[in-house]
Structure 1
């Protein structure tokens, strides 16, 4: 295999789109919590720590999931032979090291969040993924915590709490839908995911209920007067996208989980616009 193909395999292990997106979410958390130019160093450090940790978590997930991926995701780097399992393991360790180094300049609360998240990432596939609903909750909590981490980097860990809750709940819905999509491979590996234990329909309805709570949470900043109509004009379409995606999950779970992700990012952008508008003194 060519050097370029192998290098591409290592990059794919990190899911670069997801890793960069997680970094953007950390920035969003810091910005919504009230970051200023004076916080640039710690915000950049938090973003790097998030990108490294997310990439490491994805790589170690591929290491542990290599047998399942031969069924569910044969195009991933390890099943297709671009990277060996041992190489993926050591690569993930190096990335975790980068996350630790990046986090060292952050406040203690942020370091605490980083430590908890790193432990959760390491334990996820080995201990949590096969437990009904538990793995989904861990992933949801990790996603939501990126916003808390961004806020904690500037000393305001609760500054983006509503955004954290919205993201965590929407992610929980998406993870449930993904488990429905992957049910064939998970059954062959003997995993006990939520759809396998309680059934696909019950799981999807649970996901819809969780998403409704998330959408209700998205209204809080507007109701409390923190953000104005500019925020509302973006978060409502985001909510609609996610609701439509949840409805489609009963027929097309693969399409639905991707649409849920799009809606989540639009909702995060709504918070950015809402915060920017409030800084500029704009009421619309």
Structure 2
């Protein structure tokens, strides 16, 4: 295999789109929590820590999931032979090291969040993924915590709390839908995911219920007067996209989970618009 193909395999292990997106979410959390230009170094360190940690978590997940991926995702780097399992393991260790070094430049609360998240990432596939609903909750909490981490980097860990809750709940729904999509490989591997234990349709209905709570949470900043109509103009379409996706999941889980992801990022953008608008009005 060529050097370029192997290098591509290592990059793919990190899911670069997801890793960079997680960094953007951390930046969003810091911005919504009130970051200023004086917080630039802290925000950059937090974003780097998030990107490294997400990439490491994805790589170690591929290491543990290599047998399942041979069924569900044969195009991933380890099943197709671009990277060996041992190389993926040590590559993830190096990325975790980068996350730790970056996080050490942050306040104590942010470091604590980083430590908890790193432990959860390491334990996820080995201990949590096969437990009905537990693995879904862990991934949801990790996604939501990126916003808390961004706020904690500037000393305001609760500054993006509503955004954290919204993201965690929407991610929980998406993870349930993904488990429905991956049910064949998970069953072959002997995992006990939520759809395997309680059935596909009941699991999807749980996802719908969780998403409805998330949509309700999304209007809280407007009701409290934190953000104005500009925020509402973006978050309502985002809610519509996610609700449509949850309904679509009963017929096409693959398309639905991608649409849920798009809706989540649109909702995060709504918070950026809300924060930017509030700053403009305050000037």
Question: Which bracket does the TM-score occupy, shorter chain normalised?
Answer: over 0.9
Partner of 1:33: 33
Following TM superposition, by how much is the alpha carbon of 1:85 offset from its aligned partner in structure 2, in angstroms?
A: 0.1
Paired with 1:168 and 1:155, the residues of 2 have a C-alpha distance of 21
Deviation per residue, 1:180-218 (Å, 9 max, x gap): 000000000000000000000000000000000000000
Partner of 2:246: 246
Q: For structure 1, which runs of at least 5 residues remain unmatched after alignment?
A: none
Following TM superposition, by how much is the alpha carbon of 1:84 offset from its aligned partner in structure 2, in angstroms?
A: 0.1
Following TM superposition, by how much is the alpha carbon of 1:77 offset from its aligned partner in structure 2, in angstroms?
A: 0.1
When the two chains are superposed, the root-mean-square deviation of aligned CA atoms in Å is 0.8
Q: For structure 2, which runs of at least 5 residues remain unmatched after alignment?
A: none
Query: Is 1:46 paired with 2:46?
Result: yes
Paired with 1:135 and 1:4, the residues of 2 have a C-alpha distance of 34
Deviation per residue, 1:116-171 (Å, 9 max, x gap): 00000000000000000000000000000000000000000000000000000000
Partner of 1:4: 4
Paired with 2:68 and 2:200, the residues of 1 have a C-alpha distance of 19
SS in 1 for 2:157: coil
Partner of 1:180: 180
Deviation per residue, 1:62-115 (Å, 9 max, x gap): 000000000000000000000000000000000000000000010000000000
Give me the TM-score of the superposition, normalised by structure 1: 0.99
Query: Is 1:191 paired with 2:191?
Result: yes
Partner of 1:129: 129
Partner of 2:118: 118
Paired with 1:188 and 1:48, the residues of 2 have a C-alpha distance of 37
Give me the TM-score of the superposition, normalised by structure 2: 0.99
Q: How does 1:113-262 map to 2 (within 5 A)?
A: 113-262=113-262
Aligned length: 283
SS in 2 for 1:281: helix
Following TM superposition, by how much is the alpha carbon of 1:227 offset from its aligned partner in structure 2, in angstroms?
A: 0.2
Query: Is 1:109 paired with 2:109?
Result: yes
Paired with 1:18 and 1:155, the residues of 2 have a C-alpha distance of 26
Partner of 1:56: 56
Following TM superposition, by how much is the alpha carbon of 1:22 offset from its aligned partner in structure 2, in angstroms?
A: 0.1
Paired with 1:273 and 1:243, the residues of 2 have a C-alpha distance of 21
Paired with 2:210 and 2:225, the residues of 1 have a C-alpha distance of 25
Paired with 1:185 and 1:84, the residues of 2 have a C-alpha distance of 21
Partner of 1:68: 68
Paired with 2:105 and 2:188, the residues of 1 have a C-alpha distance of 44
Following TM superposition, by how much is the alpha carbon of 1:10 offset from its aligned partner in structure 2, in angstroms?
A: 0.1
Deviation per residue, 1:227-248 (Å, 9 max, x gap): 0000000000000000000000
Paired with 2:171 and 2:30, the residues of 1 have a C-alpha distance of 20
Q: How does 1:74-93 map to 2 (within 5 A)?
A: 74-93=74-93
Paired with 1:84 and 1:184, the residues of 2 have a C-alpha distance of 24
Partner of 2:21: 21
SS in 2 for 1:123: helix
Paired with 2:216 and 2:32, the residues of 1 have a C-alpha distance of 19
SS in 2 for 1:60: helix
Paired with 1:47 and 1:129, the residues of 2 have a C-alpha distance of 26
